[in-house]
Structure 1
C-alpha cells in the first residue's frame, strides 16, 4: 500500500503554505488532535493534513476560504451528541471551525477520542471474518 509523505518538514511546509487565517485555525486543530491522541501519525494526502490510526486515515484538516474543517472519516459511527458535525449518510462528517474564532479544544479532543474508540484496533485488522475477535467466546 502506498502512503503519503510523513516528514515533519513537509507538514510544517504545508502549514506555512496556508493563508494566515487558515493557518492559525489549522495549527490550533492540529495541536488539539495531537494532545487528544499523540499516537496518531500525520501525513500529507489529498492536499490535506491527514491523521492516520493503524494505517487507515481517521481524520483530516481541510482548509477552505471561510473556515477550516476537521473531517472525520468514521463520523457516521459517532454518537450525534459528541460534536456538531455536518454531513449525512455513510460518509465523512465535518467539524467546522470558523476563521478568527477560537477552536473549541475540549470539543475537538472529545471528537478525536470518540473517533479513535470507534476505529479498528491494530490487533483486529486483518483477522478473517469467520474467526471470533480476541476475547470473544
Structure 2
C-alpha cells in the first residue's frame, strides 16, 4: 500500500480548492478534529481530507454540494445515541454539517474521541483499506 500525500501545502491547497461555503465548514471540521485528537495524521485520499490513526483511515472530511460530511469509517461501532449519524449496517457513518450553519464543535469532538477510542489497536484491523 502506497501512503497518501501528507504535505501541509497539499492539504492547504485542497482546502483552498473548495468553494467558499464548503471551505468554511471543512476548515471548522478540521479544526474540531485536530483539537479533539492532535495525534491523527492528515492525508489527501479519494479526493477527501482523510485522518489516519495507526496507519489506517479513521475519519474523512467529504464536501458535497449542500453540506460537508464528517465520515467515520468505524462509525458502526459508535453508540447510536452519540449523535445524528447517517448510514447503517457495517459501513461508514456520516455526520452531516449543513452550509451556512455553525459546526457543532462539541458534537464533532465527541464523535472523534469515540471513534479513536474504538479504533483497533493494530493498524488497519477492521477498517477500510486503501487499494491504490
Give the TM-score of the pair, scaled to structure 1: 0.88
Residue pairs, 1:88-107, within 5 angstroms: 88-107=88-107
Q: Distance in 1 between matches of 2:13 and 2:3?
A: 18
Q: CA deviation at 1:125?
A: 4.6
List aligned pairs for 1:1-137, cutoff 5 A.
Answer: 1-121=1-121, 124-125=122-123
- Report the number of matched residues: 124
Gaps of 5+ in 1: 127-137
Q: Which has the larger radius of gyration?
A: 1
The alpha carbon displacement at 1:64 in A equals 0.1
CA distance in 2, matches of 1:25, 1:15: 10
Runs of 4+ in 1 over 2 A off after TM superposition: none
SS at match of 1:5: coil
Distance in 2, matches of 1:83 and 1:105, equals 12
Instruction: Give, in whole Å, the separation in 1 of the partners of 2:34 and 2:55.
Output: 17
Instruction: Give the aligned CA root-mean-square deviation in angstroms.
Output: 1.0
Higher relative contact order (CA 8 A, sep 6+): 2
Give, in whole Å, the separation in 2 of the partners of 1:71 and 1:33: 12
Deviation at 1:83, TM superposition (A): 1.2
The 3-state SS of whatever aligns with 2:21 is: helix
**TM-score, length basis structure 2:** 0.92
Any stretches of 5+ residues in structure 2 without a counterpart?
125-132
